[in-house]
Amino acid sequence: MHTDIDEKTIARRLNAVGNESSEAPYDWTEFQRRRHRSMLTRTIERNRPVAIAASVLAAVLVTALPYIHSTREHEHAIAPPDTAPPVNANTGGEEERTRAIEGWLAGLPHDHAIVRVGAHAAVTGLQDQIAALDDLLSAERAAGAQPTRLDALERQRAQLVSSLAQVQYAEMLASATP
């Protein structure tokens, strides 16, 4: 059983508690330390989106750099000579260039992590055309075809190989990009 007390008494007792001595939870030095840490945390939080974007960009560059480097080396290797070569030499250069591209294509991994259906169809289509052209070239050589005819076929083959390399390179970049 309780004896009732009025609101003024409660208020007086609450105020008495409010006037009790108290201390700050920590001193000025500790407050300063926490303030600096908090400001640092806020700065990091504020810059987090930029940091994430920079990390993603760095990851993409690191992933793509070997491929870009490799392609540039190949481009450098198959760059046309400064002076116009004779017809026979030009044909030889075309063959060399095609062999270089084919070597690069042969060095690619057979299975990409991600292969789009359209790109896959383009690659197989080009590969079929190159194979058909190889058969035709063999048949023409066996039949003793004229060199101009053979040169035309070689140039056509070189264009197909070049197209194949471009598609494969684009596909490789796409699969390497997160």
Among 38, 41, 55, 88, binds another protein (CB under 8 A): 38
- Using the minimum distance from each CB to another protein, give the nearer residue, 17 or 106: 17
How many residues are listed for the chain in this entry?
178
Handedness of CA 82, 88, 89, 94 (dihedral sign): positive
Going by C-beta distance under 8 Å and a sequence separation of 6 or more, which residues neighbour residue 100? 74, 77, 78
| 45 forms part of the interface with another protein (CB under 8 A) | no
Q: Is 176 left (phi over 0), alpha (psi -120 to 50) or beta?
A: alpha
Find the shortest distance in angstroms from Cβ 32 to another protein: 8
Tell me, by CB under 8 A, how many residues bind another protein: 28
Find the shortest distance in angstroms from Cβ 30 to another protein: 10
Chain residues binding another protein by CB under 8 A are: 1-5, 7, 9-11, 13-26, 28, 31, 34-35, 38
